[in-house]
């Protein structure tokens, strides 16, 4: 009888150990997922692909939180299968994000270089207009306003170039796009038709003719 009880106890203990073994914490998967997300962030995926990075990071945190929650509960009820699958997915997605972030950074870099070249070309074009004598009060006022703004635009473009050289590509894009927007408004002002100051002269002539009559 005692022998049967001992066998039953051993069997029960073996079953418990087996259950605990089946619910083993996915340490390896957690380490790989964390490393992949950290690597993606180091590649600035959080800056160049913010929405996608946030989604992957949230999946990682959700899995880690669930694992911690289960560790605080009954060993018999632990099941890390879902978390393990999620962590494996996070590792794969984060690795892809790292690659995509590099590609996006290269694309933005090329965009910034092109925008800076366009801005400098436009600045030179506007400056060439300064050499032409402005006719009429409005034309002179437009030219004066353009001259006062062009220095600020040049400074903004230089700031963009400095940001680019320092590795702040997104900051450089923001600065040069602002400069291009201001250049666009200046060009619109310069191309606006200038009112001919002829109305007053016509009225004066008309009065003069009436007077002579």
Q: CA 182, 126, 117, 165 torsion: positive or negative?
A: negative
Q: pLDDT higher for 206 or 137?
A: 137
Distances (CA, A) of 208 to 197, 201, 213: 18, 10, 9
Pair of tokens at residue 71: 């560790």
Q: What is the pLDDT of residues 142-188, one digit of tens each?
A: 667 777 788 889 999 999 999 999 999 999 999 999 999 999 887 77
Question: Is residue 18 over pLDDT 60?
Answer: no
pLDDT band, residue 39 (cuts 50/70/90): very high
Q: pLDDT higher for 136 or 155?
A: 155
User: Given its phi and psi angles, is residue 90 left (phi above 0), alpha (psi -120 to 50 degrees) or beta?
Assistant: alpha
Closest CA to 149 of 188, 193, 118, 194: 188
What local confidence, expressed as pLDDT, does residue 17 receive?
Answer: 46
User: Could you state, in order of their start, the residue ranges of all structural domains in the chain?
Assistant: 2-104, 107-190
In the predicted model, what is the mean pLDDT of residues 124-128? 85
What local confidence, expressed as pLDDT, does residue 56 receive?
Answer: 98
What local confidence, expressed as pLDDT, does residue 165 receive?
Answer: 95
What local confidence, expressed as pLDDT, does residue 128 receive?
Answer: 81
**HEC readout, the chain:** CHHHHHHHHHHHHHHHHHHHHHCCCCHHHHHHHHHHHHHHHHCCHHHHCHHHHHHHHHHHHHHHHHHHHHHCCCHHHCCCHHHHHHHHHHHHHHHHHHHHHHHHHHHHHHHHHHHHHHHHHHHHHHHHHHCCCCCCHHHHHHHHHHHHHHHHHHHHHHHHHHHHHCCCHHHHHHHHHHHHHHHHHHHHHHHCCCCCCCHHHHHHHHHHHHHHC
Please state, rounded to an integer, the average pLDDT across all residues of the chain.
83
Residue indicated by tokens 């038709």: 193
What local confidence, expressed as pLDDT, does residue 187 receive?
Answer: 77
Q: What is the pLDDT of residues 143-152, one digit of tens each?
A: 677 777 888 8
What local confidence, expressed as pLDDT, does residue 134 receive?
Answer: 63
Pair of tokens at residue 21: 């073994």
Distances (CA, A) of 181 to 33, 118, 157, 212: 42, 12, 12, 55
- Name residues whose C-beta falls within 8 Å of residue 30's C-beta, 6 or more positions apart in sequence: 63, 64, 67, 87
Question: Is residue 16 over pLDDT 70?
Answer: no
Q: What is the pLDDT of residues 45-92, one digit of tens each?
A: 999 999 999 999 999 999 999 999 998 888 888 899 999 999 999 999
């Amino acid at each position: 009888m005692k022998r049967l009880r001992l066998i039953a106890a051993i069997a029960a203990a073996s079953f418990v150990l087996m259950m605990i073994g089946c619910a083993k914490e996915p340490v390896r998967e957690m380490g790989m997922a964390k490393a992949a997300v950290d690597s993606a962030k180091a590649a600035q995926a959080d800056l160049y692909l913010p929405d996608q990075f946030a989604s992957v990071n949230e999946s990682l945190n959700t899995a880690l939180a669930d694992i911690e929650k289960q560790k605080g509960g009954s060993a018999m009820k632990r099941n890390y299968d879902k978390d393990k699958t999620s962590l494996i997915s996070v590792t794969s997605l984060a690795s892809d994000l790292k690659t995509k972030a590099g590609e996006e950074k290269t694309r933005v870099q090329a965009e910034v270089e092109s925008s800076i070249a366009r801005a400098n070309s436009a600045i030179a074009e506007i400056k060439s207009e300064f050499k032409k004598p402005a006719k009429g009060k409005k034309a002179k006022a437009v030219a004066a306003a353009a001259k006062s703004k062009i220095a600020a635009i040049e400074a903004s473009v230089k700031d963009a170039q400095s940001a680019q050289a320092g590795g702040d590509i997104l900051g450089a894009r923001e600065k040069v796009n602002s400069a291009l927007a201001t250049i666009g408004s200046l060009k619109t002002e310069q191309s606006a038709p200038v009112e001919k100051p002829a109305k007053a002269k016509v009225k004066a002539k008309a009065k003069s003719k009436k007077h002579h009559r």
